[in-house]
Structure 1
């Protein structure tokens, strides 16, 4: 059953949570509110609020596929997505489209197995939607709950956006196992977030690498939160020294590896193996497995997406992948089955947990002189031949504004001459060796 009868939701500021029969009642009512809508996917502006969660769970209860989208999507992007995917309704958007969603008269209905749509986490280019079956969502939620020993006594805050697969997996894994989720829209730099962590006796906290860097800067002190026993990390590589620093403050620190295309998470490094397997992302979650094919990490499991969708017609497709995901990451497996990620096949980087296409960033900077873009740990490095320091800062801020990421994720550096290969192409490996 989803959610579990003992699952609870606590909105920030509330004295009591909502669970059991009351939660089931609200979900049923949210599902009934969808009666009468034409066939097709629902678009939900997914906030870390009770209303958004009821929208999601109501659609799930009603058997309606739902796309959980960034509530702050630019109007032009939302209009473009609406034109491509023909949603039955736009739910929760503060700035709805001037025109109603386009007609669905000429497109087939979504596939009956389709339960959830998430945007690829890139901030450049035209976003594709990841088609996730209901079984994929449930199997990954249960696998995460098992791997992380989540049960009715566990309480987690929404420290990540719920339209992001990692943030949503925290919600799903707690709901399926009878845990509690505290719904807050506050960020880790806001006092109200830490007040909620204390008030509601939260037992775990999920974060991506840049958030751990923030926690170090604000001098996170676990002793202020006596019930906090577990920290989890995904969304990119966390420096080993930070892994060790934060693992030393709690009983359990989980390093994980995942992709939206696998619903959420594919690998977990158990806390008791941190000492001897530091630098790996662990072993496959229950029900999954890894293999290395010509250097590329290939994952098999029931949580693999049905495929991508670029239009409404694609939503009618069945399972294109058969549970096999070529991740695009390079890696190795040790004799114990622990996976180490060593690089990427494509020029894709993660900045603060968000996927960024490095070639798209270069295209954005055309006209500003010779530039090249490489990636490092949780940052993008822009190499330029012709900028003074003040202009470098302006370039970083421009990229941050256009990609809706904090500008500190872009390290703009001067170089006298970009290194070139014999073919005349930029020698990215040499640039990467300089970071």
Structure 2
């Protein structure tokens, strides 16, 4: 492997978490210099701390009109400077950014907006046009006022411009007194297991996770550069991909979508990025697309949101000598719960818990190795908002969050994810992980996507159905692989269907709600 200097993690300091998100941005400006280029946008435009803060004060002064402190304002923008400036603009004046997933569809978005009480959405004409979202915006405009950044900039008043000038110099005179325990951002669950829920994170929650990650993984403001193509409506893309590097003085290059592997590997090469944020699905695409040298500057790939397959890990190590650090998170945890470290990296696990976190395993019927993971810590959300009870915050009982994941924890504290409780099938009284079913197919056809779901079975209670975008995928080959590798036959799907493509969410995760509907349709034919 190429020789690299590994920065040492900093000590976790809880005192640094007692601050609101905008004040943390101001603190970073003082720590690293107002003229430091901290953000590189999708068009390669460079922005300094001074430029981001000035823009946030000016835009925020305009956006706060006809709103009140604490009000949730929707942000519907791609990953980039525009989204980050809008986020900080709202935060500067104590409005709560609600990050809306523009790939979720009108029904899910309206449900999310209802839960959080969103009556205004900030977006951009250019984005709507390029993404082809005109019909979506038309539909959403019946439930909320649509505010376009281009229009706001054209209509900035003298007072707004003065706020942009005076704010960075005298922030205490311009913005309300910050409250770090109040809501700092609202994100939304994907809705794959029902209606999306609003996840309310306080300023302290997010800042705690920023400091936890900094204390867990060695990062250098002098030598590191982060490349972030992940959406900011996803907590990983927002906290780890935007807020953390900006707070820690690490230059971050944004890319508006993770679905452009050719453009992404070229930009990584030109910028000399050293840290890549990705999911298994996306990094495997980048590794297959990249030519010799395209990813040679990357010293570390931090992957979350889905399990990293052995085939992916082997590919990026063989082709580019990149080490993958797999982690585990949940939006409710701001989001990072655990992660591997350079010096303590155990493939097949998601590493150890973040600092200041506690865990407990609740027994699950039929599971002998592990249990249902509950977590507690300073990064755990304030609570949920549901469409059925708009604005009513459901706080986690006793501060504990039930992740819904079944995990095992070894003697060293490394966590191994076995699957979600809802992603197990009970066949003849035995618990079968759908993730294991998918892993068997991935081992035989590593270049394709595979998704397993359950269907009722009159004899055994449930049966497992596998959908694959590989025409070669078949039950017989999966069964042969399972027998050769000691995997029980129960983990072999009852039926296999070939489909043109597997439905994927904007976050890169498989859309199991869509897969389930597709499987039901195929079974009825």
Match of 1:13 among 12, 25, 43: 43
Deviation at 1:245, TM superposition (A): 4.1
Is 1:85 aligned with 2:116? yes
- Specify the structure having the higher radius of gyration (Cα): 2
Is 1:165 aligned with 2:235? yes
1:36-435 matches, within 5 Å, as 36-39=65-68, 40-92=71-123, 94=128, 95-96=137-138, 97-101=140-144, 113-123=182-192, 125-152=194-221, 153-168=223-238, 169-187=240-258, 189-218=260-289, 220-221=290-291, 223-247=293-317, 249-250=320-321, 252-274=323-345, 277-294=346-363, 295-311=371-387, 315=391, 317=393, 319-347=395-423, 392-393=498-499
Residue 146 of structure 1 aligns to a residue whose secondary structure is helix
Residue 280 of structure 1 aligns to a residue whose secondary structure is coil
Cα deviation digits, residues 46-77 of structure 1 (max 9, x gap): 31122111111112222211210112443343
Aligned pair in 2 of structure 1 residues 300, 86: CA closer, same or farther (>3 Å)? closer
Residue ranges of structure 1 left out of the alignment (5+ in a row): 103-110, 364-369, 418-435
Give the TM-score normalised by structure 1. 0.75
Deviation at 1:327, TM superposition (A): 1.3
**Whole-angstrom CA distance in 1 between matches of 2:375 and 2:505:** 35
CA RMSD of aligned residues (A): 4.1
Compare 180-189 and 195-204 and name the one that shifted more. Answer: 180-189
Residue 330 of structure 1 aligns to a residue whose secondary structure is strand
**Whole-angstrom CA distance in 1 between matches of 2:311 and 2:510:** 23
**Whole-angstrom CA distance in 2 between matches of 1:401 and 1:323:** 29
Judging by fraction of residues, say which structure has more helix.
2
Compare 319-328 and 229-238 and name the one that shifted more. Answer: 319-328
Cα deviation digits, residues 83-130 of structure 1 (max 9, x gap): 44331411117414343539xxxxxxxx97111111102346321111
Give the TM-score normalised by structure 2. 0.63
Aligned pair in 2 of structure 1 residues 400, 237: CA closer, same or farther (>3 Å)? closer
Aligned residue pairs, count: 386
Residue matched to 2:174: none
CA contact (8 A) 1:210 1:378 kept: no
Deviation at 1:137, TM superposition (A): 0.8
CA contact (8 A) 2:100 2:109 kept: no
**Whole-angstrom CA distance in 2 between matches of 1:376 and 1:254:** 29
Cα deviation digits, residues 226-253 of structure 1 (max 9, x gap): 4321111111211234324434644653
**Whole-angstrom CA distance in 1 between matches of 2:282 and 2:272:** 20
Aligned pair in 2 of structure 1 residues 254, 127: CA closer, same or farther (>3 Å)? same
Deviation at 1:215, TM superposition (A): 3.2
Aligned pair in 2 of structure 1 residues 130, 374: CA closer, same or farther (>3 Å)? farther
